[in-house]
Chain A
Amino acid sequence: MTTNIAPQANTAPAATRTPTKAAPPVRRKKRNDEELSGSTGSRLLKHIVLIAFGIIMLYPLLWMLVSSLRPNDVIFREAGLWLTTFEISNYTEGWNALQSPFGHYMINSMIVVVGSIIGNLVSCSMAAYAFARLKFRRRNLLFAIMLMTIMLPIHVIIVPQYIIFSELGWVNTFIPLVLPKLLATDAFFVFLMVQFIRGLPKELDEAARIDGCGHVRIFTRIILPLMMPALATTTIFTFIWTWNDFFSQLIYLTDPEMYTVPVALRSFVDSTATSSWGSMFAMSIVSLLPVFLVFLFGQKYLVKGIATTGIK
């Protein structure tokens, strides 16, 4: 049951593809009737349960958003979502609570994120093209190795990696965070792209070959434009993961000037007394906002990507 994000893989069961024009709508209607069977009451009940459950799921997030606009003493008294005051000062205080304004850390995070995205897009798509379309000896072996590295815990390589990067004087720079992405070490993006390219019709490349195109041209002129959905999925997931990544940023960034958002937020939590939850919540909201926006606008690709490779 290999799920593929290539459009042609999402085909309906063969039976619905009958050439008679009238057939599909009839079938579809029948299917809907069947699926929506059950009384109106039971359907309504299902929706009520699902909505109630959704509210429970999102309640902590909504509560944090509302609490970030409340004075500190109210946060610990008010479990509801009703806002009586509008305490913007949490945001201004939180923004300036650390050595640099919070925007500084967001810019740092952005640099790492953009570098990682460019790295993943370029290096993973190149490797994917080779695995999906080219013939070379030891291809199966290398492909198997690539798949295995997906499951490799970072802990096994982080110590020597840290030693190498610190010998090179790269600790407290963004190089240790971005360089691995330029070298396609996020292997499941390679895998995701391989899956996608395999779903593209081979006739396109063959026609281009006959017209005298080399592999570089086929890759840049034919394959890359066609694999935009896979590239979008990669961009979105790289954004979210890099933005949220804590372990490697905690290890490589110890100078407060170089802190990214997660590391800055963590130092905020450790340095402040529990009395300033309001400003801590405010900055937490600020730090979640980019991920939320990406989620809002990139949902289609997120869902496709996750269904293909099972990533978080």
Chain B
Amino acid sequence: MIGEHLLRDLSPQVLSVLVRRGADFAAAEDAVQDALMEAVRRWEGGMPDEPKGWLVTVAWRKFLDARRSASARAMREVAVTHEPAPGPAGQADDTLLLLSRCCHPALSPASAIALTLRAVGGLTTAQIARAFLVPESTMAQRISRAKRTLAGERFERPGDVRAVLRVLYLMFDHGFGGATDLAAEAIRLTRQLTASVPHDPEAAGLLALMLLHHARRAARLDASGDLVPLALQDRSRWDTAMITEGVELLQDALARDALGEYQVQAAIAALHDDAASADETDWSQILEWYDELVRIVPGNPVVELNRAVAVGYVDGPLAGLRQVEKLDAGLPRRDAVAAYLHEQAGNDGEAARLYAAAAQAATSSAEMAHLLKQAARLNRRARPGGGPSGTGSDGPVDRDGS
């Protein structure tokens, strides 16, 4: 496609010009999409000298055309709107403006992610559909519906950074499954956000968290595509440059002395990344950060469960199990953590039973396969004449934050 990357970079800039001129967000987004399609058709014969100016002119005309046919009154309102000059100074600020619209709390996370990817990420509907493994027509409807929801909402400037952070976190955590790399998109967008709100330590904390996890990506799956738990990952395959960047971002954020959940999760991830081997992990410090996380987000059972793993390393598996037992029996991954702690405590039978139960409740094929292998390994060890014991536990499917 002609200038695909250029169009991708320009589309959010053009959108923000329209929004700053007073166009409502949904109508502006439609107009930008129309202008992009026209660009694809027209630019085959040669690029205009100023692609951005061209797109702004065309998108604005399309917006006005749509408005004119929709409502004469709305047209007059737009006509009296002052037009600020677009410029590089406005760009960083615009990122927050657009993101806070796309991540409005009235939208479900899935809708907010889809709209963000298109309006700010510059992805096509087809690319977003591939990321979520749904038909393109369904994704188009999801985005249209999100925009209709926004049409009835009032916007405040500068917008809610917390809601934006949450959506970007969920985008990152969605997984590497689809053909479109959502984790990479989330990092790209969070970078833009941190440029827009350079003094927000939680935005920096979230970017650090993403980088500190993304750095391990190459080691997460083995040659056959099976999930490799953190404790068994080949740490030489971790991206040290990315870890360094994440740690520096985190240190700057922490120095601003306004702790939040993303900074804490990033700190935990950094401690894992910092250990040359799993045995050298500083679990005492990790546990202190979990205590901090429990203070910041009280009553979150997922945090309590991850904290129990840390307690198991610091105070022993039985202490960890006492923490797990306080948690609701239906909590996802509770059985997996309990199984791991029971194995550490020497209760192989109970551990095998719990690993098998956890496999039944797993939400991903990779996790299910991992848990079944753990159960099988312990069951073989228990059988007379079974294979050699002492191969060591693979660890739970570690999640060092969330």
B is bound to A: no
